[in-house]
Amino acid sequence: MIGEEHFSEGELVAVLTTEPLDRLLDYRAPEGGCALGAFVEVPLGPRRVLGVVWGPGEGSFDPAKIRPVTRVLDAAPLRGEMRAFLTRAGTYTLTPMNIMLRLATRAPGLGEGPGMRKVYRRGGGMPDRMTDARVRVLETLEEFGGAALTLGELAGAAGVSTSVVKGLVAQGAVIEEESPRDLPYPHLDPELPGKPLAEDQAKAAESLCEGIEAETYGTTLLKGVTGSGKTEVYLEAVAECLRRGRQALVLLPEIALTAEFLTRVEARFGARPAEWHSGVTSTERRRVWRMAGEGGLQLVVGARSALFLPFCDLGLIVVDEEHDTSYKQEDGALYNARDMAVLRASLCDAQVVLSSATPCLETWANAEAGKYARIDLTSRFGVAELPEMRAIDMRAERMEPNHWISPTLARAVEARIKAGEQALLFLNRRGYAPVTICRACGHQIGCDDCDARMVEHRFQKRLVCHQCGATKPMPVACPSCGAEGRLAPVGPGVERLAEEVAARFPEARVAVLSSDLFASARALKEKIAEIAAGGADIIIGTQLVAKGHNFPMLTLVGVIDADLGLQGSDLRAAERTFQLMRQVAGRAGRAERKGLALLQTCQPEHPVIRAILGGDEEAFWRAEAAERQRAGVPPYGRLAGVVLSSPDLQAVFEFGSELARRDAPLRRIGAEVFGPAPAPIARVRGRHRVRLLVKADKSAPLQAALAEWAGQLKPPANLRMSIDIDPQTFY
Ligand code: ADP
Ligand code: ZN
């Protein structure tokens, strides 16, 4: 090993631990020394904690008191590029390094060595005496070919007690041996033929592959309507990456989408890739983590945190549905996986593919500015065409009270059912009714701990706070005036819409797709498969349905309230509405049948609604970009959100005001601070929330100034401060 990269026994090393310490700790290299980046266990007070050798020791501590590293863990050392990535990502998001290290070590039992287990195979010897049970064991081993089985697996499959197996081992007829627990993943074969590509698909694939061949950093926006074959195209880039012996990572926004994708990978490459998300068992997570570092896997499909796996030679990161808001981690380390993917790739000479039908404005602007390449797939594959889109002007429709499906939309649904096709009614509101009001006194039922109204969930027979998750039974009497039987729902959620649908289309089979109605990701997956196979006539869904599911018989999408996303103070409201509506509309007519999307709106003349209907996306982006440029907000300026929270309202306001007064470090870089103001949701879980917003020029060194600014004051006990760089939402 090179001198610099290895520390000999007794040398001082600086170790980064997962403990909240805010600095590196000095230790002495243990017997046998340790490599730079090695995973180690070190003593800290009376405990032993996980750490990584981050560099040479500083020697600032009393040398006599420096303790040795307890042991070096049996795991591939964290590579220089990964250490650089964690450092840069931590600096950018102002996240302490111990938390960054935790992100990179989210696999249980890392310290336990490779982990051996006993496995059993057929041996050369013959048993002295054959019994039925012994015959079954030997036959079972035969059946499994050369595969090694554990004692439990073998005895179970043969239907014998474990002592029978042990008896055969004693006689040499079965061999017992140790085998590592974390096995490499089955080989993916990039040479298996893919689908023949259409001309524009082939051109797109070719240009992605050029970047992969060059083995340099580059980011490409792969833009194409839903169904244009973006997935087919980037699978070709994955193939090229595997051919070159490098690893690939595909990030998906939603666990529910993984199953369909894994099947496609298996069809393309002949085996299933590694999977990484919250639904994966801890044994399997450990295996993925280790194999990523040792090169025992070629492709990982996963959620945003897969970015922090210790890949040994990452050549490609695909961010599918790159505009999806779930890529932004909203608690703990506040990072956007899309941006971090670009950072990581730039440090390891990898390519990034950002795939979307409706990219976010940041990505669009980066492509405009030439920082990202851009490839457009303009037509849908095969005969599938983009649906026709029309507005239903709700001001002109005759609506009965407490009904939300206009006569025009109802007629369209009717026609689809008659034709044996599916219709989707989209409403981005979970539950039965967003508001419960007392008809006697006008009181609206709110959450006890938050500044939010409680949403009635009739399936669960409870009121639920969508902010903190608190629930309570629906009261009989008004909590304010005591009147009984006067509480009434106001406005629709998907459950209430389902009632209207059942009343209007009594013959139709109705499926409601809302995340809270499914106990598990598996249950949801099964429902989606059932619907895709024709198991429903009318689908009622929240934004869950906007995310890439393929329903071939779906030909009509009705958007119940297209104006919903246009309200609110969020700077991304227009962009979000635009994306969501286009995604939802993209669900219609994915197979041979042509689709129709109908948008119920009270403001058909609104620029966003007009852009959606007109299909002139570039015009929408340009107008939105000009608006943001004028306001000096992202991507043309920089924002940081600072949220202070405390059970004590006065304390939190005072602290916020004091911070705002001491704005010299911010003014020095030309940044401005706004607030403190009550956050849009002013109380969550009994904590009062106050927000400051910092706005700076695009080129200003914002992080350093923010750190200096926030570091001036020590928050009082019980007051929490979180800083969100590039905030996506303004909660
Ligand atoms: P996107 O990712 O843009 O939504 P997909 O790659 O999922 O599009 O393609 C949509 C559908 O069309 C999929 O069922 C896919 O298998 C099919 N498809 C796309 N391109 C081809 C092709 N060249 N040959 C055969 N089927 C294709
Ligand atoms: Zn609440």
User: Mind listing the pLDDT tens digit for each residue in 490-513?
Assistant: 999 999 999 999 999 999 999 998
User: What pLDDT is recorded for position 591?
Assistant: 57
Cα–Cα distances in angstroms (integers) from residue 720 to residues 21, 100, 213, in the given order: 17, 19, 48
Phi then psi dihedrals of residue 150, to 5 deg: -80, 165
Is any atom of ligand 1 closer than 6 Å to the C-beta of 195?
yes
Cα–Cα distances in angstroms (integers) from residue 80 to residues 52, 83, 345, 347, 408, in the given order: 12, 5, 14, 10, 62
Which residue has a Cα nearest atom 10 of ligand 1?
A: 227
CA of 382, nearest ligand number: 1
Reduced to 3 states (helix: H, G, I; strand: E, B; else coil), residue 42 is strand
Is any atom of ligand 1 closer than 6 Å to the C-beta of 492?
no
Question: What CATH class has 116-180?
Answer: mainly alpha
Question: CA-CA distance, 564 to 573, in Å (whole number)?
Answer: 10
- In the chain, % of residues over pLDDT 70: 93
Q: Which atom of ligand 1 is nearest to the CA of 377?
A: 3
Provide the pLDDT confidence category of residue 93 given band limits of 50, 70 and 90: very high
Distance 590 CA to ligand 1 centre (A): 10
Domain 199-377 has CATH 3.90.1150.10: no
Which residue has a Cα nearest atom 23 of ligand 1?
A: 197
Q: Which atom of ligand 1 is nearest to the CA of 225?
A: 3
Q: Where are the domains of the chain?
A: 6-103, 116-180, 199-377, 388-429+492-624, 637-725
Residue 111 clears pLDDT 70, i.e. is over it:
no
DSSP 548: S
Residues 705-727 have a mean pLDDT of: 90
CB contact at 8 A, 518 and 524: yes
Give the model confidence (pLDDT) of 15-31 as tens digits.
Answer: 999 998 878 999 999 99
Distance 202 CA to ligand 1 centre (A): 12
Q: Which atom of ligand 1 is nearest to the CA of 357?
A: 3
Q: Average per-residue pLDDT in the chain?
A: 87
- Token pair, residue 638, equals 């920089």
- Which range has the top average pLDDT, 274-278, 299-303, 418-422, 470-474? 299-303
Question: CA-CA distance, 102 to 89, in Å (whole number)?
Answer: 13
CA dihedral 150, 154, 159, 165 (to 10 degrees): -90
- Cβ partners under 8 Å of residue 396, min gap 6: none
User: What pLDDT is recorded for position 696?
Assistant: 93
Question: CA-CA distance, 163 to 389, in Å (whole number)?
Answer: 70
- Cβ partners under 8 Å of residue 594, min gap 6: 385, 387, 388, 555
- Token pair, residue 159, equals 């239907």
Is any atom of ligand 1 closer than 6 Å to the C-beta of 226?
yes
Partners of residue 638 on adjacent β-strands: 696
Which residue has a Cα nearest atom 24 of ligand 1?
A: 195
Query: Ligand 1, from 232, 236, 263: best to mutate by most atoms within 8 Å of Cβ?
Result: 232
Which residue has a Cα nearest atom 11 of ligand 1?
A: 227
- Token pair, residue 687, equals 């904590």
Question: CA-CA distance, 208 to 346, in Å (whole number)?
Answer: 16
Which residue has a Cα nearest atom 6 of ligand 1?
A: 229
Cα–Cα distances in angstroms (integers) from residue 400 to residues 5, 86, 408, 729, in the given order: 75, 57, 13, 35
DSSP 4: G
CA of 200, nearest ligand number: 1
Asked if omega into 359 is within 30° of 0 (cis), the reply is no
pTM: predicted TM-score of the whole model, two decimal places: 0.79
Query: Ligand 1, from 221, 262, 355, 381: best to mutate by most atoms within 8 Å of Cβ?
Result: 381
User: What pLDDT is recorded for position 570?
Assistant: 63
Give the model confidence (pLDDT) of 342-370 as tens digits.
Answer: 999 999 999 999 999 889 999 999 999 99
Reduced to 3 states (helix: H, G, I; strand: E, B; else coil), residue 657 is helix
Same fold, 199-377 and 388-429+492-624: yes
What is the H or E stretch that residue 673 is in? Answer: strand 672-684
Distance 688 CA to ligand 2 centre (A): 12
326-355: buried (b, 16+ CB within 10 Å) or exposed (e) per residue?
ebbbeeebbbbbbbbbbbbbbbbbbbbbbb
Residue that has been written with the tokens 């590509």 in this structure? 197
User: What pLDDT is recorded for position 3?
Assistant: 43
Q: Which atom of ligand 1 is nearest to the CA of 226?
A: 4
Is any atom of ligand 1 closer than 6 Å to the C-beta of 229?
yes
Is any atom of ligand 1 closer than 6 Å to the C-beta of 590?
no
Which residue has a Cα nearest atom 17 of ligand 1?
A: 229
Is any atom of ligand 1 closer than 6 Å to the C-beta of 224?
yes
Provide the pLDDT confidence category of residue 116 given band limits of 50, 70 and 90: confident
- For the domain spanning 637-725, the CATH number is 3.30.70.600
- Token pair, residue 545, equals 């349905």
Question: What CATH class has 6-103?
Answer: alpha beta
Question: CA-CA distance, 238 to 244, in Å (whole number)?
Answer: 10
Residues 640-646 have a mean pLDDT of: 91
- Token pair, residue 462, equals 């409870």
Q: 388-429+492-624, what's its fold? A: Rossmann fold (3.40.50)
CA of 450, nearest ligand number: 2
Is any atom of ligand 1 closer than 6 Å to the C-beta of 227?
yes
Give the model confidence (pLDDT) of 541-587 as tens digits.
Answer: 887 776 666 787 888 889 898 887 766 556 677 777 777 777 777 66
6-7 and 34-35 beta bridge pairing? antiparallel
Phi then psi dihedrals of residue 620, to 5 deg: -60, -50
- At residue 508, what is the residue type? A
Q: Which atom of ligand 1 is nearest to the CA of 550?
A: 14
Provide the pLDDT confidence category of residue 677 given band limits of 50, 70 and 90: confident
What is the H or E stretch that residue 415 is in? Answer: helix 407-418
Is any atom of ligand 1 closer than 6 Å to the C-beta of 532?
no
Complete edge-to-edge strand list for the sheet that includes strand 314-320: 274-276, 299-302, 247-251, 314-320, 351-356, 218-224, 373-377
Cα–Cα distances in angstroms (integers) from residue 446 to residues 450, 459, 568, in the given order: 8, 19, 19
Is any atom of ligand 1 closer than 6 Å to the C-beta of 277?
no
Reduced to 3 states (helix: H, G, I; strand: E, B; else coil), residue 271 is coil
Q: Which atom of ligand 1 is nearest to the CA of 264?
A: 16
